[in-house]
Amino acid sequence: MAIQNHILITTFCEQSRIDNEFVHLLEVHGLIKCKRVNAQLYIEEDTVSEIERMFRLHRELGINIEGIDALNHMLQRISQMEEELSQLRKRLRLYE
């Protein structure tokens, strides 16, 4: 049964050649959320690029799940700080 905006994990893993176990670990560590329907696990379509990004970090840089989790937090913080910096720069322009 297909669910709107969701992909069956097994289908995703098959197409992207990402280990099912890796996706499972991401869920166990709370890095992604899966939806269980009729004993089958689905992920949201929007999660796909996130999983691919985390898989690249794992495969290309050898970073484990805990490391990816820590990196996600740091990248999020950097992104927030960059946004803040951009807003502050715009405000500063007002006084120039």
Task: Write the interaction track for other proteins spanning residues 38-77; mark x where CB under 8 A is met and - where it is not.
Answer: ----------xx--xx--xx--xxxx-------x---x--
Q: What is the CA 69 to chain-centroid distance, rounded?
A: 9
Residue identified by tokens 């990816």 is 68
Say if residue 49 is exposed, middle or buried (CB neighbours under 10 Å; 0-12, 13-18, 19+): exposed
Q: Are 31 and 65 in contact (CB under 8 A)?
A: yes
Choose the binding region for other proteins from 1-9, 15-23, 24-32, 35-43 (rule: CB under 8 A).
15-23
Q: Which is nearer to other proteins, 27 or 50 (CB)?
A: 50
Binding site for other proteins (CB under 8 A): 15-17, 48-49, 52-53, 56-57, 60-63, 71, 75, 79, 86-87, 90-91, 93-94
